[in-house]
Structure 1
Amino acid sequence: MAHNGAVNDLDPPAASPDSPLASFAALRTSEGRALLDEVRGSEPAQELAVATRLRREHPVGLVSAALGQARLRQRAAAKFGAADAAEMFFTPNGVEQSTRASVAAYRAARFGELGVRSVADLCCGIGGDAIALARAGIRVLAVDRDPLTAAVARANAETLGLAELIEVREADVTEVDTAGYDAVFVDPGRRGGRGRIFDPESYSPPLSWAVQAALKAPLAALKVAPGIPHEAVPTEAGAEWISDAGDVKEAVLWFGTGEAGSVRATLLPGPRTLLGRGLPDPAVRPVGRFLYEPDGAVIRAHLVAEVAADLDGGGLVDETIAYVTADSATATPYATVYEITDRLPFGVKKLKALLRQREVGVLTVKKRGSAVEPEELRRKVKPQGPHSATVFLTRVQGAPTMLLGHPVTAPEN
């Protein structure tokens, strides 16, 4: 069983000259590096012409590998930044499953703050977390059992000048002795042949194994899917949900930090961290002048009550909906604030008439507790005009409701 999932859709025998491992090795020759430089920045529309030209002078397989790597580098730029992505190596699944560089850097900084100087990075993938740890001055043992994945991780450490701090080992993570390392980091595979895996015990390796590995270490962090049920979080762990620019990226279970049972939501950039205080659910109240949309990490961490408690008279619009309302605007990094101008019972014709009256041509549709698809609604109301607005499709005290408004910048206290 591969402990971080398959890394490539192609799987001929490793000894085959056409295997992914052989193709990758060819890319690291002088001819391969020259080809990578030549195809850098090639547009998809130009790819056929570029391939035809290059195949006159280079092996067909090498040209295909170079063009494939160029496409992967372009995709990876959003995750790793243009500068690093242009030099690193990737696999298709490696791009998809790697930790975003900003998130990896935040976690590496937290390891450093906890006094960690060495980490065993189990299921390291193409090395995204190992790179961040090494850049934070932490020595890393990066382990993956897949030969191609390990080769790519090793190449990335070398390419970015971090080989002295990162040792890449091709091995089964369940057989690696992590004694002697200050901390263990485990990123189990959460994708299978049918897509995402939601059952933590179906991770590769299972969450139960990762927890046992964490408990043996002085300090540990386990990366898990942000949808992990709170009841699946071990009592020995503190749980952290992380978002980047508003998108929830992952959850992390921390062991050995002295915060067992704690819950936190961390928002990047920043970082801004909201700690759980064990508050009861906020009361439901009438919709006020302002609506607060908590960040996704706050919602996943079940910390909406903490946001509401820091507002003047904050409460929920519905007991099942994570929208908070208040009569005044209060600056908070943990929610986006909207001024509500209209409240209507759900109805397409009513909304269309109101938008026409307000000359709204740019309509942002947000929904929570509604089955209506935003694009379908936008198509039906046909917004036209010079103004913009946001409509929330939700429930207010159980009734399907539309709230119309616009984002505002709340004054600092």
Structure 2
Amino acid sequence: MDTTELRELLSTDGLRLLDSLPAFDQTADVVRTVAELRKAGHSPALVAAVLSQSKLRSRAEAKFGPFAASMLFTEAGLEQATRLRVAAMHAGRFRAAGLARVVDLGCGIGADALALAAIDIEVTGVERDEVTAAIAAFNLAPFPHATIENADATAVDLGGYDGVYLDPARRSDARRLKDPADWSPSLDFAFEIGGRLPTGVKLGPGIDRDLIPAGVEAQWVSVDRDVVELGVWFGAVARPGVGRSALVIGEHGTAELTAPADSEDAELGALGEYLYEPDGAVIRARLIGDLARSLDARMLSDQIAYLTADTAVATPFAVCFRITETLPLDERAIKKRLAQLEVGTVEIKKRGVDIDPAAFRAKLSLKGKGRNSATLFLTRVAGKRVALLAERV
């Protein structure tokens, strides 16, 4: 979207047209819709802008729920935006620390600034891109104590603020930037601020852990088993004694596993009746050992993030499976056994073996031929390659 389209979209007629559209339907005849809107006298640029926003609002429901219907987005801004439920937790840290004025450097479309403003924290969002800044200003308009500045985050005077939040842009023209020095603002800039002020920095969950400074709280967050971010917290917004955290959000609600540092791995042991697949946030936070001890479980094999136990214990931090059979990791033997069990659909999971699950599934030639389904783990037990047939508990 360019500034011309944005001006049309933000006009009274543009917003009225956007809000009048029916809910986005992936199967709708787009050509017909465009023709009808053009026939009604709307410009091509406005029609393109409102239809794009309608589609983005539909996609944004997963992150913003019903609030998406009254917000505006950009493609890149929506992709990087914090889920509103997670942003509310970020904001809660600043409120718990008693911080009244917060600046959100690189605020994007304003998701975290929105959460801060919603709990009456005075927030200033700073965004370098002109179009994105205008969209953030629209999204924050209902809050009189929220402002948006179209400026370079690295040039902002932080003197009047109690705390800082940063979400460095890690893409440029749809290209992922691998070097943290190329992020906007850079990782060094973000961490330097953290050394001076209470600061939260949102990063991708797969970042090199060696880049995480000592003495901070590093919290990996998963939503519905998808690890969505790493939050690095400095000063008053970091919790005393918490160096590593796995925050797991799902149908169960919210659960958290914390520790002062990476936990020691659990002992290796014999394969039991049950297998646990830890949540990705637990794996990223390296808290598998603590989880294992809480479940009276043991490691399947060294450096493999599967646990095994003799009893099943309900936990939000892992998915539990009952192992029904142990097979050699041989595609012909597995294919034969699945046919005997009338398995037509198989979920394949692998750790510790160099196998492409999609290619392996193709070799099994199941194609829905059987009436049963199963989960197949391709892994190592005590260092040996095995296949484990299992069912979810």
Is residue 2:230 matched to residue 1:251? yes
Which stretch has the larger CA shift, 129-138 or 243-252? 129-138
Superposition TM-score, scaled by structure 2 size: 0.92
Is residue 2:204 matched to residue 1:204? no
Alignment deviations for residues 239-273 of structure 1 (CA, whole Å, 9 cap, x no partner)? 11111111000101110135477111111143211
State the distance in 2 between where 1:84 and 1:193 align. 28
Q: Which residue does 1:14 correspond to in 2?
A: none
Q: Which residue does 2:50 correspond to in 1?
A: 66
Specify whether residues 49 and 165 from structure 1 end up closer, same or farther in structure 2 by C-alpha distance, changes over 3 A only.
same
Equivalenced residues, count: 384
Q: Which residue does 1:114 correspond to in 2?
A: 97
Percent identical pairs in the alignment equals 41
- Tell me which of 242, 245, 266 is aligned to 2:247: 266
Contact 2:264/2:290 (<8 A) preserved: no
**Paired AA for residue 265 in structure 1:** A
Alignment of 1:97-246 (within 5 A): 97-158=80-141, 161-162=142-143, 164-193=144-173, 195-217=175-197, 219-246=198-225
Root-mean-square deviation (CA, aligned residues, Å) is: 1.9
**Paired AA for residue 14 in structure 2:** G
Specify whether residues 309 and 199 from structure 1 end up closer, same or farther in structure 2 by C-alpha distance, changes over 3 A only.
farther
Is residue 2:383 matched to residue 1:405? no
Superposition deviation, residue 23 in structure 1: 0.9
Q: Which residue does 2:21 correspond to in 1?
A: 39
Secondary structure, aligned partner of 1:86: helix
Is residue 2:66 matched to residue 1:87? no
Secondary structure, aligned partner of 1:271: strand
State the distance in 2 between where 1:390 and 1:109 align. 39
Structure of higher RCO (CA pairs closer than 8 Å, 6+ residues apart): 1
Which stretch has the larger CA shift, 20-29 or 260-269? 260-269
Alignment of 1:309-388 (within 5 A): 309-312=293-296, 314-381=297-364, 382=366, 383-388=368-373
**Paired AA for residue 227 in structure 2:** V
Alignment deviations for residues 335-379 of structure 1 (CA, whole Å, 9 cap, x no partner)? 111111111111222222222222223322112223333333333
Q: Which residue does 1:15 correspond to in 2?
A: none
State the distance in 2 between where 1:34 and 1:212 align. 44
State the distance in 1 between where 2:294 and 2:177 align. 36
State the distance in 1 between where 2:138 and 2:281 align. 34
Superposition deviation, residue 280 in structure 1: 2.1
Secondary structure, aligned partner of 2:320: strand
Contact 1:292/1:337 (<8 A) preserved: yes
Give unmatched runs, 5+ long, in structure 1. Answer: 1-7, 9-19, 409-413
Superposition deviation, residue 199 in structure 1: 3.0
State the distance in 2 between where 1:43 and 1:241 align. 34
**Paired AA for residue 216 in structure 2:** A
Q: Which residue does 1:301 correspond to in 2?
A: 285
Superposition TM-score, scaled by structure 1 size: 0.88
Contact 2:241/2:260 (<8 A) preserved: no
State the distance in 2 between where 1:310 and 1:34 align. 55
